[in-house]
Amino acid sequence: MARIRPKPADRRRRLLPAGALTVLLLGPVPGALADAGDLRDGPVAWYADDRRPIPVPAFTEPGLVPYSVTSFLHRPFSRFWHPGRALRRLGDDGPAGPAGDVNALDEVLDSAWFTNRIGLGPLADEELVQGPAFGTELVDGPDRSEPWVIIGAKTAGVTPGFRIRDARGDVWLLKFDPPEHPGMTIRAGVVSNLIFHALGYNVPVDQLVVFAREDLTVGEGAEIKLPRGPALPLTAANLDSILAATRSVFPDGYHALASRYLDGEVLGPFDDEGRRPDDPNDRVDHQDLRVLRGLKVFAAWLNHFDTKRHNTLDVYEGEPGQGFVRHYLIDFASTLGAFGDEPVKRFGYEFGVDVFPILGRWLTLGLVEDPWVALERPRDSQGRILDEVGLFDVETFEPEAWKPDLPHSAMANLDRRDGYWAAKLVSSFTDRQLELLVDRGGYQDPEAAAYLTATLAGRRDRIASYWFDRVAPLDFFRAEAGCVTFSDLGVERGYADPETTTYRFRTGQASPDREVAGWSAWTESAGTSIPCEVPDEGFSALEVQVDRGDRRLGTVRIYLGASGRVVALER
């Protein structure tokens, strides 16, 4: 069925359930709040209590090689031979138990990991395009009232970089593109950083900056870190050589990504499995956090294959003994098809070491070709390669088949409710918002910007269509005036035809332990407003199903309390 394009106003409709009051979730965050536990006729929790004062945890950063071995071998084999995971898959709920960072409405809690933004309400254009700098003096990047002072430089790795201090005293890292691909990685990094912020993650301030040579001055004692050998003093002469080698100069000046150093004490990266043992606020195993499980859907959208532990960061914020740990995602240069000195076709399609595809190629003698083999760089209307765009398309993208470079324990636990939640957020971005975000990347070629905008929209639509066909996209239930109304995100966001969509519902009486008795007969409804009486005492249950004409999707059940609140939701 062709995608139905809704009116812009329809796609921006986001409503919290009536009566969904804000409350702090005290104590340990229990798993499966949406599915288990006695019903409570009270305000719904929206905040996790994970910012209590703690001592400063120790810095830790495991080597990349040991972490890679664990990610490729130990953890996947442990999951593969776990009998409980196979049994759970038979129920079509996913390989692991429910996520542990959700509330009774099956929504993710605000926490030191995540802040609900675009998923639960309209996001102003200013916040969308300014990201983590919104409302601060950082919106224009490093202060330009005086030249930036270089306090360190590196030449190791694919691209050089500088640490600078601006007139405000803020320290920034200037990152450049690989010499062979000027404009590719820094622009992708800026756009993806803004998208992850809009989704709700903690990210640093990453800005595209345009500057001239006279905007830089060498600080006293500044040194260059070389790939091998001792550091050397940085001089004006070798600074000019480094800048020339970047090939990052455009008609209006040098282009770089300026990433501001985070405030607080850096503690090293967080793991995608287990907990941080010296953080008492870290009470849910990381592989059971929806914000990390759902990261698979977001990373697939942007082809952020480089989701290894070393691209995350824990930061202690506050005075020693009075602060807490906030968890960040960092470094988005390897997104939107970009990667270092040369984009790699298999990224996003296979793990770095992927046993089953390798065996498949061996058994078929290579006669069955993998879909990514034919992947090519996009071209402009004249047939020339779009230099600022990597290997990024819609045609070969299959949301359910996407893989990071290193197996990720939390992503491996993704279940259908995690996937639906993530797809709901992805589908919240309108075409216009995607255009605004790509514009912040400063693409010099209008055709490159148009291609990226269209590809992001196309991949968004594939993600939403996939998950909205597996979980009924009925959401934002609210009780008002003797009725329960809800939003059908499939219809509202253009993934289902309203002319062939109908609903049916039934009601019953629920006990606090969620046992339901006295179900009514199923009743058909053409609209998203259903008559439902608020119980005089106790709880009532309402089940709703959606019929698309050619298929009926799963059931969504909500519980109403005597207060008139929607107190819980199950998918």
Considering the domain architecture, whether residues 181 and 303 belong to the same structural domain is answered as: no
Sign, Cα dihedral of 334, 227, 161, 158 = negative
Domain count, the chain: 2
pLDDT at 36: 53
Q: How many of the other CB atoms lie within 10 Å of CB of 374? A: 10
User: How high is the pLDDT of residue 157?
Assistant: 60
18 inside domain? no
Out of 196, 230, 261, a domain closes at: 261
CA distance 234 to 215: 16
Percent of the chain whose pLDDT exceeds 70: 92
* 558 within some domain: no
Q: Above 70 in pLDDT, residue 257?
A: yes
Q: How far apart are CA 119 and CA 493, in angstroms?
A: 13
pLDDT per residue over 273-296, tens digit each? 999 999 999 999 999 999 999 999
CA 70 to chain centre: 24
**Residue 72 DSSP label:** I
If asked whether residues 452 and 368 sit together in one domain, one would say: yes
Q: Which residues contact 197 (CB under 8 A, 6 or more apart)?
A: 117, 131, 132, 203
Does the residue 349 lie in any domain?
A: yes
Owning domain of residue 230 = 127-261
284, 107 Cβ separation under 8 angstroms: no
Q: Are residues 227 and 314 in the same domain?
A: no
Of the listed ranges 243-257, 317-331, 382-396, the least confidently predicted one is 243-257
Which of the pair, 6 or 192, is modelled with greater confidence? 192
Maximum pairwise Cα distance, the chain: 83
Per-residue pLDDT band for 567 (boundaries 50, 70, 90) equals very high
* In-domain check, residue 96: yes
Highest mean pLDDT among 7-16, 39-48, 226-235: 39-48
Reported in sequence order, the residue ranges of 248-304 that DSSP labels E, i.e. its strands, are 249-250, 253-260, 265-268
One domain, residues 224 and 281: no
Q: Classify residue 562 as exposed, middle or buried by CB count within 10 Å of its CB (0-12, 13-18, 19+).
A: middle
Q: Rg (Cα) of the chain, in Å, rounded? A: 25
- pLDDT value, residue 158: 64
Both 207 and 247 in one domain: the answer is yes
Give the number of C-alpha atoms closer than 13 A to the C-alpha of residue 428, restricted to the C-beta side.
27
Nearest to 489 by CA among 505, 471, 507: 471
Q: Over the stretch 183-200, which tens digit does the pLDDT of each residue have?
A: 999 999 999 999 999 999
Q: 177 and 188 in contact (C-beta within 8 Å)?
A: no
CATH of residue 96's domain is 1.10.1070
- The backbone torsions φ and ψ at residue 531, rounded to the nearest 5 degrees and listed phi first, read -65, 130
Q: Give the residue from 211, 233, 261 where a domain finishes.
A: 261
pLDDT score recorded for residue 149: 97
20 domain residue, yes or no: no
Averaged pLDDT of the chain: 89
Please answer whether residues 415 and 293 qualify as being in contact, where contact means their C-beta atoms are separated by less than 8 angstroms. yes
Q: Do 337 and 448 reside in the same domain of the chain?
A: yes
Domain annotation covers residue 325: yes
Contact 466, 423 (CB under 8 A): yes
Whether residue 317 is predicted with pLDDT greater than 50 in this model: the reply is: yes
| pLDDT at 4 exceeding the cut of 50 | no
| Angstrom distance (rounded) from CA 163 to CA 151 | 6
Between CA 406 and CA 422 the distance in angstroms is: 21
- Does one domain contain both 243 and 145? yes
Q: Same domain for 228 and 306?
A: no
Helix (H/G/I), strand (E/B), else coil: 325: strand
What's residue 335's pLDDT?
A: 96
pLDDT digits (tens, 9 = 90+) for 370-407: 888 889 999 999 999 999 999 999 999 999 999 999 99
Per-residue DSSP letters for 439-491? HTTT-SSHHHHHHHHHHHHHHHHHHHHHHHTTS--EEEEEEETTEEEEEEHHH
Least confident of 9-13, 141-145, 559-563: 9-13
Please provide the DSSP assignment of 73-93 as one string: IIHHHHHHT-HHHHHHHHTTS
Does 71 lie in the same domain as 200?
A: no
In a domain, 166, yes or no: yes
435 alpha carbon, distance to own chain's centre: 18
Q: Kindly state whether residue 570 falls inside one of the protein's structural domains.
A: no
Token pair in block for residue 402: 């996407």
Q: In terms of domains, do 285 and 238 share one?
A: no
Sheet holding 529-531, edge to edge: 474-480, 483-488, 529-531
**75 and 194 share one domain:** no
| H or E element that contains 570 | strand 566-570
315 and 422 both lie in a single domain: yes
% of residues, the chain, pLDDT over 90: 70
209: helix, coil or strand? strand
pLDDT of residue 156: 62
Of 439, 468, 497, the one marking the end of a domain is 468
